[in-house]
Homo-oligomer: A and B are copies of this chain.
Amino acid sequence: MEAARLLWNHPHADLVAATGRSLAGKRLGDAFPHLAAYDLEITPEIDADVDIVFSALPTAESAAACEPFIRAGIKVIDIAADFRLKEPGAFEEWFGKPHPAPDLLPSAVYGLPELNRDAIASASLIANPGCYPATSILALAPAVAAGIVGDQVIVDAKSGISGAGRGTGGSFGYSEVNEDVSAYKIANHNHQPEITQELSALREGPKLRVTFVPHLVPMTRGIHATCYMPLAKSVTQAEADEIYADFYQQTPFTKVTSTPPHTKHTLGNNMCLVHPKVDERNGMLVAVGVLDNLVKGAAGQAIENMNLMLGLDQKSGLDFPALYP
């Protein structure tokens, strides 16, 4: 749904097929009135010639559905979690079932251009990052890569409700969720290993240990990750600022801010805003990252990856301001 919204204005890409299971047979605009301008029917399977496929099916089903396209040489971007964890056995450990196509794992590239721009450009299969990991990794990466952080970090993440998906029933009913904050899956969310994997690749020494606690807050879109990094050495605010500024000097969609960013400053667009703050009293670096979970945390990120894979301008179709207020 969100990819379709974004693709409407993409100068070099056309949406030619949209699949669905419960919605198959409906016009796209009947299922989603804001997409009424599309003249497209939702089909059970892709029934058109395509250059690239986005998949957002449930875990394991996504890999199974992607497999024939991958083997046929068609580029695939998997928005599900199926191709993210590289370590053999990690998928089964965290998702409770065997991976449907483990031989494809080595060729999958983790689709975060801020870290893997070149690999994405030459990849055929992209593991699109989870919304929590995208926010967390982008907030943590500069400090971790600079070697100023100890072996353990904490990520306290606050997410809008759309991160929980559509039709998720009673637990996310308006009346229950509104005016409420709660934590869930404390230190046990399956987005944690993804954060660990990607950050550990940026540093020397042992694997980073990550305590990850997600929270639901009463808003539709947006993730705010507050990351706590006990420092391995003394670092001033000016040094931290420079480390972050250097790391994100060239990245079109991740920017460093001089004051704490608001999730609303990224509402509906592909931007990630990052802000480092040194707690000198306690030898701690606090870094905040914010983004729209459905855009830079999912569909926008996928289109950014598509742009790189197809040799287009990285910003094609994604260069517009947030909706504010």
The reply to whether B211 and A179 form a contact with Cβ atoms under 8 Å apart is no
Residues in B with CB closer than 8 Å to A261 are 33, 182
Residue ranges of A at the interface with B (Cβ–Cβ < 8 Å): 1, 4-5, 8-9, 32-37, 152, 154, 156, 158, 160-162, 166-170, 172-184, 186-187, 209-211, 213, 215, 217-222, 224, 226, 228, 230, 255, 257, 260-269, 273, 277, 279, 281-282, 284, 286, 288, 290, 319-325
Residues in B with CB closer than 8 Å to A321 are 4-5, 8, 34-35, 37
The residue from B34, B269, B279 contacting A324, defined by CB atoms under 8 A apart: B34
Q: Given A154-B154, A182-B261, A288-B183, is A324 in contact with B174 using a C-beta cutoff of 8 Å?
A: no
CA distance A162 to B170 in the complex (A): 12
Can you offer 11 A-B residue contacts whose CB atoms are under 8 A? A1-B324, A5-B324, A8-B319, A8-B320, A8-B321, A156-B156, A175-B221, A179-B179, A179-B264, A210-B282, A211-B284
CA distance A298 to B173 in the complex (A): 20
Most buried by B among A158, A173, A226, A228: A173
Most buried by B among A8, A219, A323: A323
In the complex, residue of chain B having the shortest beta-carbon distance to the beta carbon of A228: B154
Q: Given A174-B174, A187-B284, A213-B286, is A264 in contact with B324 using a C-beta cutoff of 8 Å?
A: no
The reply to whether A221 and B183 form a contact with Cβ atoms under 8 Å apart is no
The reply to whether B279 and A226 form a contact with Cβ atoms under 8 Å apart is no
Q: State how many angstroms separate the Cβ of A188 from the closest Cβ of chain B.
A: 8
The residue from B180, B218, B281 contacting A187, defined by CB atoms under 8 A apart: B281
Q: State how many angstroms separate the Cβ of A56 from the closest Cβ of chain B.
A: 15
The reply to whether B210 and A181 form a contact with Cβ atoms under 8 Å apart is no
The reply to whether B5 and A323 form a contact with Cβ atoms under 8 Å apart is yes
Top 8 closest A-B pairs, CB basis? A187-B279, A180-B264, A34-B322, A156-B156, A175-B325, A34-B324, A181-B224, A182-B262
Q: State how many angstroms separate the Cβ of A279 from the closest Cβ of chain B.
A: 4
CA distance A187 to B287 in the complex (A): 11
Residues in B with CB closer than 8 Å to A175 are 160-162, 166, 172, 220-221, 325
Q: State how many angstroms separate the Cβ of A145 from the closest Cβ of chain B.
A: 21
Q: Given A33-B261, A279-B186, is A219 in contact with B179 using a C-beta cutoff of 8 Å?
A: yes
The reply to whether A262 and B174 form a contact with Cβ atoms under 8 Å apart is no
The reply to whether A220 and B186 form a contact with Cβ atoms under 8 Å apart is no
